[in-house]
Every structure is written in structure tokens, then in C-alpha cells.
Structure 1
Amino acid sequence: MSSVQDFYDALAADYHLIFPDWDASMARQAEALGGVVRARLGAGPHRVLDCSCGIGTQAIGLAGVGHRVVGSDLSPAAVARAAAEAETRDLGLPVTVADMRALPYRASTFDVVVCADNSLPHLLTTDDVRTALVGMGRVLRDDGLLVLSVRDYDEIRAARPTSTPPQVSTTAQGRVITFQLWHWYDDGERYDLEHFQLVPDGDGWEVRVRRTTYWALTRGQLSDAVSDAGFAEVGWHDPGDGGFYQPVLTARRVQRDRESRKI
């Protein structure tokens, strides 16, 4: 199985093909996530770190509605594309290549940390998840907002699907078909994923396959991990509530003087 960085480096040039209309998806996601932030912190603009920014799907959208966004990601190819895509839209998006377990920012820098698109479940151990969440808390100001989105793994773990339905997008060269195959571990929690894209190639198809691994964290597991990492007011927001396409967890960074009194 390839590393997470290899997976996203290989996918960076084609990631937008997952969406029928990437710009429309960016706008919808910014509206949904922006609404979550606005309801808890006010209108802003706010200082936002997208610590799994990829090619910029959430970061560009949030910058486009006025927030001061910084992007970081493990994949050099992805962050390079995010910066280039932001520039073509006349948006400023400073980006950094960084592992979410070792964020290179000063403490209390951001009002909001976003980790969306099922990124956190790439971390496969309790220690790695805790390290990442503690680091996100470190760079948040007191009472700052954590925003995570993951797949609905409570339902998924009960069903243990082995594939996803195909998604079709249209390009100048023709239609691109994207789907996934899932290979579950015996523990029932982790799975290897094969990400297939069928791209038009003359009279036939070019098949592009990338592979990675996920930990299917339930809401209870993730809520407990977030609380243990120093957050309070942990809550979940279903797609029907806020309009984001995945369940969203929000939590507030515990004030540091309150945290010190617990030690």
C-alpha cells in the first residue's frame, strides 16, 4: 500500500475530476462550512487553517467568501496546485507542505482549524490521531473552533461495503468515471482503498489506480479523541442540517488557564 503522500501526489492533477463541477462544489462547501463557523464565531472574517487542504477545495472556497485562509497538506503536489488554483481566481492562499501531526505554526495563531474530506482517518493509530488533534488545538486561539468532516462510519462499519457507486464528470476529452474498491481488515475498523479513475484515451480508456488506507472512526471514537485532546462543546452536524456532504464535528478549544487547572 502506498503512503498517504504518494496517494495524494498521484491524485493531485486529477482530484477535481471527482466532482461534476469543481467550482460549484467549492462554492457549496464554503457556504456550508462558512455557515458552521458563522453560527459559532460570528461573521468574521476569521483566520482559518485548512490543515488538509489538498488542491484547495475547502480553502479556496473559504478564501473566496472573505476569510483569511492558510493551507497545509502532506502532499507537495497538492499544495502546489492549491496555490496555483487560488492565484488563477485572484485569491491569496499561503500554503505549506506539512504533516497534520506536526503543524509548523505558532500557538494561538488561528480562529478556526479545518480538517475536512475524511482526512483525519488516514491516521491509523490512537497516538497519531491524538498527536494531530493536540497540535490543532495548539495553533487555535482560546475558544477557537475545530471543524472536522469524515464519512458516516457508524453506518459504514455496520454494512462494510466493498465499493462505492461510480461518479461521472465531463471534460473536453469526454466523460471520466471515478469509483473505489474497499478491502476491510479483520478488525472491522480499517480498510485499504483502491481509487480508480477511467479517463478517455482515444477509442478506449486509461485506467488510473491509487491506493491508501483508512481507519473508519465512529462518531463516538472521534468525539472521545477530540475531548481527550483538550476540546469542549463537541457536537455533530448531519448533512441535512448544515448542507455539507459529510457529517461535520465541531468543538471549541478549551481556554488555556482552564486547561492548566486540570493538570
Structure 2
Amino acid sequence: MPPTVSKVSKVLDDSQRFGDAPVEVRETDHYQQEYIEDFADRWDALIDWEARAEAEGDFFIRQLRDRGVRSVLDVATGTGFHSVRLLEEGFDVVSADGSPNMLAKAFRNARDRDLLLRTAQADWRFLNRDIHGEFDAVICLGNSFTHLFKERDRRKALAEYYAVLRHNGVLILDHRNYDRLLEGGAAVRSGRSGVYCGKNVEVGPEHVDDGLARFRYAFPDGSAYHLNMFPLRRGYVRRLMREVGFQKINTYGDFVSSHDDPDFYVHIAEKAYRFETDLTEI
């Protein structure tokens, strides 16, 4: 006899929560267990593509076009939102993700829009092993970089992004405003960032410390899922980018250069070598 819906939800929740002490499970390699098939299938209810597209406007498209970008490696494709948008705008896109469930969902989303994604399952720390060629831009969006819990892994991933870029390439990477969260502020405000636009989906932290931000995603049918993320501070990310070799870093808050207290930060890091007198940072 098949299990009831409540039993199915409980089984899924248990497999995704890592047992009775989930806060003790912080390591990078568990993200594939977090993005179980059922959670991946629900992810678009959390995102709401149309609302997110309206909130972002042409910010990313403009940033890429202003830098003459034609080819883009989307290293955190998720369910395909940015890959699909860029394909529709005429960019040459390769879509990568560490989660096979997310890639399968992204491929279906693109196919439903009469587009064909070129997908690859890839670990950021060994990106150049799995992805061949060079790109004008690498994008790592949707708060994805926070899945890396060790500094050596973050440095390795940034170095891999740097290596796969052409000499004048650009990296675009975003993350939550964890500075505010660590200092006791609200985790999610009015939705200015446009990242989580889904209706009737509750998103919030269950636990926060200097080494872990554990978020809960609750859906109207009573199901709930969790993600463990490392709380990246704005200044720390900029420092790592500089130390890896990126020359100029512009940081935006909710797509505005002067926003003091955003929901999300977007870092745009340029690889092109600049003489010291030419270096400027915002």
C-alpha cells in the first residue's frame, strides 16, 4: 500500500533535514542531498519567474552587454531562470549546476519555452575539469555561492571562475545581505531584491551564527524544506575576489549602486588587467 501524502512529506523532510541535529551538518558536499527532486520541482513556486523578471528588469542583461559579452557560463543554473533569460536575449549560454535534479528541471523549463539548454553537471572547485572552453562572463546567482562552507573551497571556486574567463572577462556573483542578518536584522524584507517573489511561500532563518545560516522554506500544503548556507559578508567576498586576481569590483545593492541596506548584494568583478593608477572600486 503506498504511503499517504503526510507520510511522503515526512519521509522527504527527514531525508532533507539530516536527522535530529541538522545544525551540526554544515559541509559543502551535502547540497545535493538538500536539493532533492521534490524540492527542485517546487523551486519555481518560490522564485516565480515573471515576478523575478519584472523585479530585476534588464540589470544583468545591461551589465553584460555594456561589457561586450557574448558567451556566458551560468555556474548555478538552478531551474534555469537566468540561463533562459539570457538565451532569449541572444547570448550564447552554457548552463552548469552541481545538482542533477536542478539541471533536469532547468532543461524541462527551457524546452517548455522552445529553447535548448546546453547543460553540464559540474563541481565549482573542479570547474575546468568538467567545462571546456573560455567565456566572456561567468554568472553565479541566486545566493548560490553560500553553499561553500570552507574558505579553501571558496578560493578554489573563484580561481576556477577566473581561469575559465577570457582575459577581459567578468564574473557576476550575488548573495544575501548576511551582514544585516548576523547583526540581528530582518532576513527578508519587502522583496526589493526580486529574488524570492513566490506568493504564499514563507522563507526565513531557523538558525544563524558566524558559520551557518539555516533557512526554512515553507509551502502552502504544509511541506517545508531547508538549506544550509554560509553567511558571507560583503567585504569578505570583495576581498576574496581581489586576492584571486580580479582587478575591479563594483558592488550593487538590490541592483542599485548606492543602496546602503539591501536584501541582496551583487558583485561585478572584472578580470582585465589594469595598471595601479587605473584601479577604482565602488
- How many percent of aligned residue pairs carry the same amino acid? 25
Q: Secondary structure at the match of 2:256?
A: helix
CA distance in 1, matches of 2:265, 2:206: 20
Structure 2 partner of 1:36: 63
1:46-84: CA deviations, max 9, x gaps? 100110110011111111111111111111111011111
Structure 1 partner of 2:42: 14
Give the letter for the 1:233 counterpart.
Answer: K
Please tell me whether residue 222 in structure 1 is matched to residue 237 in structure 2.
yes
Larger relative strand fraction: 1
Structure 2 partner of 1:233: 248
Please tell me whether residue 105 in structure 1 is matched to residue 105 in structure 2.
no
Change over 3 Å in CA distance of 1:27–1:196 after alignment to 2: same
Q: How much has 1:6 moved relative to structure 2?
A: 1.9
CA distance in 1, matches of 2:198, 2:250: 34
Q: Secondary structure at the match of 1:193?
A: strand
Q: Secondary structure at the match of 1:106?
A: coil
Change over 3 Å in CA distance of 1:189–1:146 after alignment to 2: same
Give the letter for the 2:62 counterpart.
Answer: G
Q: Secondary structure at the match of 2:107?
A: helix
Q: Secondary structure at the match of 1:117?
A: coil
CA distance in 1, matches of 2:85, 2:263: 15
Q: Secondary structure at the match of 2:214?
A: strand
Q: How much has 1:146 moved relative to structure 2?
A: 0.2
Moved over 4 A (4+): 160-170, 242-245
Match of 2:214 among 163, 167, 192: 192
Q: How much has 1:29 moved relative to structure 2?
A: 3.6
- TM-score scaled by structure 2? 0.75
Match of 1:64 among 65, 75, 88: 88
Q: How much has 1:128 moved relative to structure 2?
A: 0.8
Match of 2:113 among 78, 89, 104: 89
2:253–2:265 contact (8 Å) kept in structure 1: yes
Size of the aligned set, in residue pairs, is 236
Q: How much has 1:31 moved relative to structure 2?
A: 1.6
Q: How much has 1:220 moved relative to structure 2?
A: 0.9
- TM-score scaled by structure 1? 0.80
Structure 1 partner of 2:180: 155
Please tell me whether residue 4 in structure 1 is matched to residue 19 in structure 2.
no
Change over 3 Å in CA distance of 1:183–1:160 after alignment to 2: farther
Q: Secondary structure at the match of 1:79?
A: helix
Change over 3 Å in CA distance of 1:30–1:11 after alignment to 2: farther
Structure 2 partner of 1:118: 143
CA distance in 2, matches of 1:110, 1:122: 23
Where do 5+ consecutive residues of structure 1 fail to align? 171-175, 200-206, 256-263
Q: Secondary structure at the match of 1:159?
A: coil
Give the letter for the 1:36 counterpart.
Answer: Q
CA RMSD of aligned residues (A): 2.6
CA distance in 2, matches of 1:215, 1:36: 27
CA distance in 1, matches of 2:156, 2:263: 26
2:180–2:186 contact (8 Å) kept in structure 1: no
CA distance in 2, matches of 1:184, 1:169: 23
CA distance in 1, matches of 2:81, 2:265: 17
